[in-house]
Amino acid sequence: MHKTMASKTCLATEILESLLEEDDEVVQVWYLLGWVCYLQVEKPEETEAFKDSARTYLTKAKKLYVKVKCDDSPMLEHMEQLLAELGPGEDLLDLEEDLPLENIDDDFVESSDDEAMEQ
């Protein structure tokens, strides 16, 4: 990866991280952070670090996708494709034990919008 591309990915990461500080429940931000890290896996000196970061961000995006009932199926398919290509990581196994997908809704309170939709 040449210097211009590296500076662009660094800037993209900074912008996405600042968006997370504002609202950490936007699926697309987690997804894009994972994708940016995935694209940087080509750097031989930092391959595992970028793989781990990509797995973490993409796993968070996938769990959040379910929680907020996102309906962007192409994005979900791409997340699953990227995660499959990255393969399982040691830290991912720990993360999945801590945050099982089946119980993710238990940690969140329904908003008034959710309640109105159920009626």
Model pLDDT for residues 33-87, shown as the tens digit of each residue: 999 999 988 777 778 889 999 999 999 999 999 999 999 999 999 999 999 999 8
Give the pLDDT of residue 44.
72
3-state DSSP helix/strand/coil percent for the chain, to nearest 5?
Answer: 80, 0, 20
pLDDT tier at 3, thresholds 50, 70, 90? low
CB 73 within 8 A of CB 31: no
The residue segments making up the domain with residue 58 are 3-118
CB 67 within 8 A of CB 99: no
CB 82 within 8 A of CB 59: no
Q: What is the pTM of this model?
A: 0.70
Strands (E), 2-119: none
